[in-house]
Copies of this chain bind each other. A is one copy, B any other.
Amino acid sequence: MARGRNPTSHDVARLAGVSRTTVSLVLNNVPDTHITAETRQRVLEAARELNYYPDVTARRLASGRTHTIALVWHRGPDRAYRDAFLPGLLQGIASAARHYGDHVLFRPIEPDEPDDGYVELARGRHADGLILSGPRSDDDHLLQLHAEGYPLVLHGQLPGAGIPSVDVDNVRGALAAVEHLLALGHRRIATISNAPLAYTASAQRLQGYRQALQAAGLPYDEGLVALGNFDEESGRAAMQRLLARPERPTALFAASDTVAMGALRAIREAGLRVPGDIAVASFDDIAAARFITPALTTVHVPTFGLGWSAAELLLQIIAQEAPAQTQVLLDTELIVRESCGAAP
């Protein structure tokens, strides 16, 4: 494939006996252009015969559209946690992009990298729009780009910024998990957050926990609330504190599977059993959740759906079709397995 001797639209035009305009019109399926079926046929055949692939590099410059969207993937302190979502999210994005004829660029931003590393993707016209996963609330570049009308969709939420976003309904998900515990008869239910409450998702999951208790007429007891910090060890430490309380909880809602696994370890180390002594429900449904013993009852996050929705929304914005909904919240599903002692 030496450069310079690939067939061009000129070659196709000559072989078909038409102009390059016509070749472009036919190959791009431009509507409202009354080209005879016969001419169209000739062009298509010529292109096939020459094994012609339009040079996207030229197409992009001429058309002003790159037909590419980028996933900007922030690798913050929560990176190990978030990696579990990457395959689903990315493939959801890629599938939707492909469905609409677009391509996807993957751009991780390392923690030590200047925060505006992704700006080049927008301003240098690498992509027609960006999906940002793990947005930071103090990111001025983001606000700036949005203010200029550059197409942006967040995976996650940035309250108040007004940027279109796609996320899971964390409140309802947590609510469902805790309701499950309540329905099993538990009254002293502890919770461990998945991360510091400055993370929107953490605060929302905690809110779902509160709402469930409130709806059941139960008091909110600060002593039953502990903070996790993404990893297993933080879940273990938090559970140890919870177990040290005079009145031991009979159930736990861990706001992530990872934190739940740490809690499970602490419970085991205390000589207690799950679900016998303590029932455990969690959130995320990462791949490991069904493998561990006991298999976790957890709130499933539709990662592929998140990716698909984000890409679809972004593509609508790029096409300037006002989307019906710019703040999308996807539903979760409680997956009942063994850790709460309920039959699936």
Contact = CB atoms under 8 A, between A and B. Distances in A.
Question: Chain A at the B interface: mostly helix, strand, loop or mixed?
Answer: mixed
B287 A64 contact: no
A150 B53 contact: no
Contacts of A291: 232, 261, 288, 291-292
A1 B288 contact: no
A58 interface: yes
Interface in A219-249: 232
A94 interface: yes
Contacts of A126: 56, 103
Contacts of A123: 1, 6, 51, 53
A86 B84 contact: no
A114 to B, nearest CB: 12
A125 interface: yes
A61 interface: yes
A274 to B, nearest CB: 11
A169 to B, nearest CB: 25
A106 B106 CA distance: 6
Interface in A7-53: 51, 53
A148 interface: yes
Interface in A106-146: 106-108, 110, 120, 122-126, 145
A105 interface: yes
Contacts of A54: 124
A269 interface: no
A79 to B, nearest CB: 9
A125 B293 contact: no
Most central of A90, A95, A125, A148 by chain B CB within 10 Å: A125
A55 B124 contact: yes
Contacts of A53: 120, 123-124
Contacts of A55: 61, 124-125
Nearest first, the 6 A-B pairs at minimum CB distance are A288-B288, A53-B123, A83-B87, A1-B148, A57-B60, A53-B124
Interface of A: 1-3, 6, 51, 53-58, 60-61, 64, 66, 68, 71, 75, 83-84, 86-88, 90-91, 94-95, 103-108, 110, 120, 122-126, 145, 148-150, 232, 261, 286-288, 291-293
Given A3-B64, A57-B61, A91-B108, 9 more contacts: A1-B148, A55-B124, A57-B66, A60-B60, A90-B106, A94-B106, A105-B105, A105-B106, A287-B288
